[in-house]
Amino acid sequence: MSKPATKPVQQSVAMHYPWQQDQWQQLALQIEQQRLPHALLLTGSKYIGKYQFALSLAQRLLCHAPVGGYSCGQCKSCHLVMSGGHPDNFKIEPEEEGKAIKIDLIRQLGEFVAKTSQQGGWKVIIISPAESMNINASNALLKSLEEPGPNTLLILVCNEPSRLSATIRSRCRMVKFPVPSISKVRPWLAQVAGQNEEIEQLLHYSNGCPLLALQLLETDLLERRRKFVGLIDDLSEHRISALTVAEACQENDSPMMVDWLYSHLALMIKSGKKGVSKRLVFRYMDTLMQAKRQMQSTANPNIQLLWEELLLNWQQLFKR
Ligand SMILES: [Zn+2]
């Protein structure tokens, strides 16, 4: 497994990604015309760089000497944003990935919003992922959204806006980030990954989400996924038993592998696999999502058994 040949150079400019140019220009214009709203909701799939976009926007607003609509990357403020120590840039995340953002943090945000900025300019808050706020945190945030004060920008980074309360959504201006076109991602990935014969496969496995493609490249996930797909194809062709595959599935993160199975099936259907009933496929996709929820539940599920059921049902889809 080859590692990226060229790593991005350490710099103090938080640049947005090439596929975010339209959103950037739109906001840059609003900054210039001084009509930036007080709260933005950045929405779109995970792994397409919304957080990086939020950071570059924060840096642009806090920079002491922006050049041509971008942060300078040289001033003290730019350096502080990049090092994570800017006193006027408040970032809120769950303590652990996948956990909730609790009310204590939103209370701190309230205090931050009430104070004047330390460097005399903007105050920028980034909440990511915003859908992780529990109900109390979410209610507490509403107050800050109502009275943010001048030169204060709240940026909510959100993968699943439907999980945010309607009131919060209605108080933010939404900026949408669609999954970028392959033509935009390919040159970027080639630049970051160096000449790499795996690029097409990375794009294929990441469903066009560029940062996921990068993560696959930097870890052994691509290799693991390839092995898994190999087993699944053997299973479809009845060359191997569901029990053997179920045992092999124990070694990995099960919910992630359910996603792999889901997207493998989606790709098979897209590529026009013959002789498979669409009705059964859709029902199976529902079963997959249910199994994933069970695997993630705290009720100590029997993972081996769940996999056996899933894989036996998988084999049924490809009955000879
Ligand atoms: Zn600067």
List, for residues 138-168, the tens digit of each pLDDT value: 999 998 888 788 899 999 999 989 989 999 9
What pLDDT is attached to residue 319? 74
What pLDDT is attached to residue 58? 97
DSSP 61-99: HH-SS-BTTB--S-SHHHHHHHHT--TTEEEE--SSTTS
- Find the 71 Cα to ligand 1 centroid distance in Å: 5
- Find the 75 Cα to ligand 1 centroid distance in Å: 4
How sure is the predictor about 1, in pLDDT bands with cuts at 50, 70 and 90?
A: very low
Global pTM value: 0.77
71-89 pLDDT tens trace: 999 999 999 999 999 999 9
What pLDDT is attached to residue 103? 94
Say yes or no to pLDDT of 4 above 50: no
- Find the 67 Cα to ligand 1 centroid distance in Å: 8
Say yes or no to pLDDT of 6 above 60: no
17-29 pLDDT tens trace: 999 999 999 999 9
Q: Locate 243 and state its tokens.
A: 């029990």
- Better-scored residue on pLDDT, 208 or 233: 233
How far apart are the C-alpha atoms of 265 and 270, rounded to whole Å? 9
Percent of the chain, pLDDT > 90? 57
How far apart are the C-alpha atoms of 236 and 245, rounded to whole Å? 11
Domains of the chain as residue ranges with CATH: 18-177 (3.40.50.300), 220-317 (1.20.272)
Task: Give the CA radius of gyration of the chain.
Answer: 23
- Find the 27 Cα to ligand 1 centroid distance in Å: 18
How far apart are the C-alpha atoms of 199 and 159, rounded to whole Å? 25
Average pLDDT of the residues in 235-250: 90
How far apart are the C-alpha atoms of 276 and 315, rounded to whole Å? 11
How sure is the predictor about 11, in pLDDT bands with cuts at 50, 70 and 90?
A: low
How far apart are the C-alpha atoms of 273 and 314, rounded to whole Å? 14
Q: Locate 128 and state its tokens.
A: 């990511």
What pLDDT is attached to residue 68? 87
Neighbours of ion ligand 1 (CB under 5 A): 63, 71-72, 75, 78
Q: Locate 215 and state its tokens.
A: 């993560």
